[in-house]
Amino acid sequence: MSDHFRKKVHYEDIIATFDDILIQPGYTNFEPNDVDISSKLGSYRFNLPIMTAAMDTVTEEIMAIKMALLGGLGVLHRNCSYERQLEMVRIVKRTRSFIIVDVATITPDDPITNAKFMMENYNISGLVVVNDENKVCGILTKRDMPYSENDIKNGKVKEYMTKNVISIEPGASREEALNKLFKHRIEKLPVIENGRLKGLITKKDLAPEFPLASMDEDGHLICALALSPKFPESLRAQNMLKEIDKYVDIFFIDVADFYKIADIEGTKKLMNLLESDFVLGNIGTYEAAEYIISQCDFAEDKFIGLKVGMGSGSICTTSIQTGVGAPTLFATAQVADAIKDYKSELSLIADGGFKNPGDIPKALTAGADLIMSGHFFAGCTESPGYIDTLQGQKVKVYRGMGSKEARTSGFISDRYIEGSKILAEGISAYIPYVGDLDGVILSLKEGLINGMVYAGARKIEAMKNVKIGVITPFGRQEVRTHDLMGKY
């Protein structure tokens, strides 16, 4: 080995990933039911420390809603127009809440066709009817809609709406609202003060069907969206982002390598323009985290987390194509050290490279607070795209955001090296269909909880103190199924 190589490579720079380590068993003095897998990101607390990746074959509104209901977070992708992004965040934010403030309304003189369009477009089952002074005149639900196509075509809202509106006043409790909904056998309860509409309560939003759901202070689902670090120069684009900002809790800066001056400066401008919180990434080294934490002067009240891992995804080829990368376990350990050394309150998200449920506790042991994956979820029913059949097996398409197919869409050309149109840094392939998200999440949760039990850690914070060890190739062979007949 040359002296030059020895100077370049140090023991602490050995780049390890999940299959290179094992968590050492620890002493356990608690039961599995005592394990707490909740974690926080800024002011938000998640009962499930798992996120779905901001990829166009993984997370759109259906996945984001289901992930939030199950206690995690689905980060909506940005490989689409601002108009489509606005549509997605509005649907997520309106899905579950104690009181809906942004109520869908219509006037008495509007045609029924307008009401039908709004219900279908906004994915809602009813509209509050108000006059020009925002005073409630009635309510129109799908049950009030006429059956005849001719009546739909020519009818007015006032001809079919329910005029005797059962309502509730502002400040009423959840229990009072439930009692009134049950008493009158209705599903929607307008909040009215002095005749004017102040909000809407729906039966489904009060039902404790998802007790672990990720919600904001107002009872809305937490909504997250990927965002380019490039500041839009056009006034129209800036105004669209401001409109999107009204529905988003957390923006995730979505770029392969954030440790670039152009991305850092662009993000500062975005933070000044928008009100929501920010997670920055991706990065992969101690030096990158150190610089971002200590030198960049990001708004402390908005900068809540770092996302780490470069070139780790199962459909990512960045490290192969460029020779540069930071596998997720290595990146997590590096950035966790920087966060600890600078006594930062930032949360750390380990992104990509996960193959098995046991990789999640390994990431937490390296210093992560939450994990993000596309591979686990691309084959779910809730992911975008249709279920196909390949050689008798049900499959779905899964593509990297650096793939040729994704990069030529015209919306995320700036996620990788801008201007590089030929070099693809990802692939498009099939992944087995795995069924509903609930089953996948159950498997991941059990793997995480059991891993914490074996490690002797009751909480995620305690996982950061458990011991790990590097495993040899023969050790890796031994911990896998082996010496059996057939293929495994």
* Domain CATH code at residue 132: 3.10.580.10
> Can you give the CATH number for the domain in which 377 is found?
3.20.20.70
Give me the number of domains the chain comprises. Answer: 2
Is 19 part of a structural domain of the chain? no
Q: Decide which of 206, 221, 238 is a domain's last residue.
A: 206
Give the pLDDT of residue 95: 80
pLDDT of residue 426: 62
pLDDT digits (tens, 9 = 90+) for 139-153: 998 888 888 888 888
146 and 257 in a single domain? The answer is no
Please check whether residue 144 lies inside any domain of the structure. Answer: yes
Average pLDDT, the chain: 89
User: Is residue 476 assigned to a domain?
Assistant: no
Q: Which of these is catalytic: 316, 399, 407, 458?
A: 316
Say what the pLDDT of residue 419 is: 59
415 is an active site residue? yes
352, 376 contact by CB (below 8 A): no
Q: Do 278 and 145 belong to one domain?
A: no
Residue 366 has pLDDT above 70, yes or no: yes
Do 55 and 161 have their domain in common? no
462 falls within a domain: no
* pLDDT value of position 312: 83
Tell me, yes or no, if 316 is annotated catalytic.
Answer: yes
Indicate whether 231 and 345 sit together in one domain: yes
Classify each residue of 85-111 as buried b or exposed e, where b means 16 or more C-beta atoms within 10 Å of its C-beta: bbbbbbbbbbbbbbbbeebbbbebebe
Least trusted range by pLDDT, from 174-183, 226-235, 292-301, 342-351: 174-183
User: Is the domain of 225 the same as that of 200?
Assistant: no
Residues 157 and 229 in one domain: no
- Inter-residue contact 421 to 398 (CB < 8 Å): no
- pTM here is 0.80
The rounded distance, in Å, linking the Cα atoms of 466 and 21 is: 13
Query: pLDDT-based confidence at 8, cuts 50/70/90?
Result: very low
Query: Is the confidence at residue 356, as pLDDT, over 60?
Result: yes
Same domain, residue pair 152 and 299: no
Strand partners, 442: none
Whether the CA torsion 242, 78, 412, 324 is positive or negative: it is positive
Place of tokens 């402390």: 300
In this structure, are 322 and 425 located in the same domain?
yes
Percent with pLDDT over 70 in the chain: 90
- Distance between CA 180 and CA 176 in Å, rounded? 6
Domain boundary among 173, 206, 239: 206
pLDDT in tens, 298-320: 999 999 999 999 988 777 877 87
Task: Decide if 475 is inside a domain.
Answer: no
Share of the chain above pLDDT 90, in %: 59
pLDDT of 233 above 70: yes
Is pLDDT above 80 for 460? yes
Of residues 78, 90, 407, 415, which has the active-site annotation? 415
For residues 295 and 344, membership in a common domain is answered with: yes
Residues 283 and 140 in one domain: no
**Same domain, residue pair 425 and 405:** yes
Give the range of the structural domain holding residue 51, as residue numbers without chain letter: 38-96+212-452
